[in-house]
Amino acid sequence: MAEEKKTFYITTPIYYPSGKLTIGNAYTTVAADSMARYKRAQGYDTFFLTGTDEHGLKIEQKAESKGIKPQEFVDEKAASYKKLWKMLDISYDKFIRTTDDEHVKAVQKIFEKLLKQGDIYLGEYQGWYSVEDEEYFTESQLAEVYKDDNGKVIGGKAPSGHEVKLIKEPSYFFRMSKYADRLLEYYNEHPEFILPHSREKEMVNNFIKPGLEDLSVTRTTVNWGIPVPSDPKHVVYVWIDALSNYITALGYGSDDDSLFKKFWPADVHLVGKEIVRFHTIYWPIMLMALGLPLPKQIFGHGWVLMKNGKMSKSKGNAVYPEMIVERYGLDALRYYLMRAIPFGSDGNFTPEDFVERVNFDLANDLGNLLNRTVSMINQYQDGIVAPVSSQEDEFANSLRETAQDTIKTYYTQMDELHFSQALDTVWKLISRANKYIDETTPWVLNKEGKKEDLSRVMTNLAESLRLVALLIRPIMTESPVKMFKQLGLSLDDEQATSLQWGAYGWNSKVTADPKPIFPRLKNDVEVKYIKEQMAKAKPKKATRSEQKKQEPKHITIDDFDKVEMKVGKILEVSPVKGSKKLLAFKLDFGEDQVRQILSGIAQFYPEYQELVGKKVIAVTNLKPRKMLGQLSQGMLLSSEKQGKVRLAIVDDSHEVGALLG
């Protein structure tokens, strides 16, 4: 009977199809792809999963703001993500969508099973919810809280800076606490379960030891989700839905679970550091409750940061992969991502650093080595790489030894997902080969007619390049193809693809007219270009009416009653010193009440004096605030359409000081 192939199962997180993917998202996916390619090359039967996490309030609201159904919205997004992955040569075996019928049915089965066995129970949820983050926070987790006069918390901001609101609703809960001890025991028995190790300490000390709270796993306030079959006004809330993807994608809970039998447990889940908690606490507990084996490893990588913090569209510091690939080629992006930031740590993307790496590492070190080698082989030996002669010299020995060490070290580093170090190792071989040219001075050997020596040098260089191409192949998908072509080799040839010094019996003809595979970039021009592209992607600030359109919210009559609005008569209008936008209004609200209100409408009323005597509507119970040293005691109502702003002027029949409502 044939021996069964070793298997390898690797996953990325499933991405929220809410915005455009940045090089930060591409980072996880390129890493997973590199690993999958590396394992396939080693003969593993590999399954690489990625996909989209399509349910939740944020998606529902985004779709609504576009006036389309959530399904239509996520269909479009999922298609655009697939297109991007194609552009980045992502060799996934399956793209799961949480709206897939199979997934939905399996999640429902999982939920009902957990409910039946008592791991899930019905309770009431109360928490501070941030729509943007799709996350609930306890009061102590909030970055900022707003209090009323009695000191009661009435609102606040999530650590991300987004506003939160208090939500109370019936909810099903998962009994996490029941499994805490078993989880800790599992960590102890499996020291490689959470990597890097520092992240395990963080989980234990910050979350498990203080006591695991039961996790709210359903919502009644969200429509766009998977309904709980036995209580359909509840939908399954993000994490049970999302995390299950790793098993439902393999057919768990469906009629055909052969992939699940073959590939589960996963060898590694790659995740960003902010979702390590979900993957190392909630997910293992869910699996324990389901009686399934746990994944072998969760690797929590760091973030691709920008000088001014995390990448975000609104800050104008987001870099999109398409732009980089279109201008600099796919391998420049894949190389940069895997080389510049050690996997597990945070790292900064700067346009300067990017351009420098492309120039130094790719154009100079690698590109030049190939170009010089192929050109010399053309010049000195009519393009022929001859089989290696047995006779060697000290430089060749040293080069060969470096190559052999490189391969060994590289394997260890790749096995541990140290992509950056593995590339560093390969680049040492590239430098060694470049040095070999300086040491052996082929142009002198040629002049002196030392044909045999020259031929050996050329073959050793070609052999180094052959190995380099194979070593970078999991990470860089285009260059090895070009390198092999220029060297006259085929990637389908078993011997030529053997990762061993001397494994290939050379006798090939190189390209007659080799083009540099990485053209040198003009530093200033390219840095400027990337910066311009980043700035272009920054959305224009939404006007208030646009914001309202994007986030249609219902308020109660009680909410409305909180706002005090009165008719005021304009007594004086004057510009505010130091501001082009503001006008200062003195208004009469009757009963001797005169207030000053500042309003940012100067550009719409160049003839502002004409406003004197007009009656307008003002919000009069806003907290007073100072702008440019002047006090503003309220807000004037105005309308805005397509950038045109007019004050809400009412006719004279309205009494000064009259309340609106």
Nearer to ligand MSP, 60 or 453 (CB): 60
CB distance 32 to 516 below 8 Å: no
Q: Does 27 bind ligand MSP (CB under 6 A)?
A: yes
- Residue 163: φ, ψ to 5°: -70, 145
In DSSP terms, which residues pair with 646 in a beta bridge? 639
The contact pattern for ligand MSP, residues 372-411, with x = CB under 6 A and - = no contact, is ----------------------------------------
Smaller CB distance to ligand MSP: residue 15 or 585? Answer: 15
**Amino acid code (one letter) for 107:** V
Q: Which residues contact 414 (CB under 8 A, 6 or more apart)?
A: 35, 38, 422, 474
Q: Which of 14, 114, 330, 570 binds ligand MSP (CB under 6 A)?
A: 14
What count of other Cβ atoms lies within 10 Å of the Cβ of residue 573?
A: 19
3-class DSSP string for 251-309: CCCCCCCHHHHHHCCCCEEEEEHHHHHHHHHHHHHHHHHHCCCCCCCEEEECCEEECCE
Q: By CB under 6 A, is residue 572 in contact with ligand MSP?
A: no
Site string for ligand MSP, 40-79 (x = CB under 6 A): -------------x--------------------------
Q: Smallest Cα–Cα separation from 13: which of 224, 273, 221?
A: 273
Does 469 contact ligand MSP by CB under 6 A?
Answer: no
Between strands 215-216 and 565-575, the pairing is unpaired
Q: How far is the CB of 11 from ligand MSP (least distance, A)?
A: 8
Choices 9-17, 118-126, 169-177, 638-646; region in contact with ligand MSP by CB under 6 A: 9-17
Cα–Cα distance for residue pair 138/119, rounded to 1 Å: 23
Residue closer to ligand MSP (CB basis): 28 or 434:
28
Nearer to ligand MSP, 13 or 442 (CB): 13
CA–CA gap between residue 315 and residue 119 (Å, rounded): 43
Question: Measured in whole angstroms, how far is the alpha carbon of residue 444 from the centre of its chain?
Answer: 52
Q: Among residues 89, 93, 94, 86, which one has the least CA distance to residue 44?
A: 93
19: nearest Cα among 49, 46, 43, 52: 52
Instruction: Tell me the window of 162-170, 237-245, 329-337, 369-377 that interacts with ligand MSP (CB under 6 A).
Output: 237-245
Stretch that binds ligand MSP, among 35-43, 108-116, 146-154, 267-275 (CB under 6 A): 267-275
Under rule CB under 6 A, residue 16 binds ligand MSP = yes
Among 9, 10, 13, 486, binds ligand MSP (CB under 6 A): 13
Tell me: does residue 287 bind ligand MSP (CB under 6 A).
Answer: no
Of 275 and 290, the one with the shorter C-beta distance to ligand MSP is: 275
* Intra-chain end-to-end CA distance of the chain, in Å: 84
Structure-block tokens of residue 264: 């589960």
Instruction: List the one residue from 104, 131, 242, 647 that touches ligand MSP (CB under 6 A).
Output: 242
Torsion, Cα of 350, 356, 357, 358 (10° steps): 110
**Which candidate, 602, 84, 78, places its Cα nearest to that of 333?**
84
Beta strands 153-157 and 144-147, pairing class: antiparallel
Q: In sequence order, what are the residues at sequence separation of 6 or more whose Cβ sits closer than 8 angstroms to the Cβ of residue 546?
A: none
> Are 573 and 602 a contacting pair, CB within 8 Å?
no
Q: How far is the CB of 161 from ligand MSP (least distance, A)?
A: 16
CA angle, residues 578, 581, 582, in degrees to nearest 5? 75
Q: Please say which residue, 273 or 654, places its beta carbon nearer to ligand MSP.
A: 273
Q: Is 124 in the site for ligand MSP (CB under 6 A)?
A: no
Q: Which of 8, 9, 10, 25 binds ligand MSP (CB under 6 A)?
A: 25
| Residue 28 binds ligand MSP, judged by CB under 6 A | yes
Which of 239/484 has CB closer to ligand MSP? Answer: 239
Minimum CB–partner distance for residue 301 and ligand MSP (Å): 7
Binding mask 306-345 for ligand MSP (x = CB under 6 A): ----xx----------------------------------
Q: Among all residues, whose Cβ is closest to ligand MSP? A: 272
CB neighbourhood size of 638 (10 A): 17
Q: Is 243 in the site for ligand MSP (CB under 6 A)?
A: yes
Least spacing, CB of residue 24 vs ligand MSP, in Å: 2
Strands (E), 201-267: 215-216, 218-219, 226-227, 235-236
The structure tokens listed for 648 are 């809400």
Interaction between residue 275 and ligand MSP (CB under 6 A): yes
CB of 241 to ligand MSP, least distance (A): 9
Binding residues (CB under 6 A) for ligand MSP: these are: 13-16, 24-25, 27-28, 53, 242-243, 245, 271-272, 274-275, 303-304, 310-311
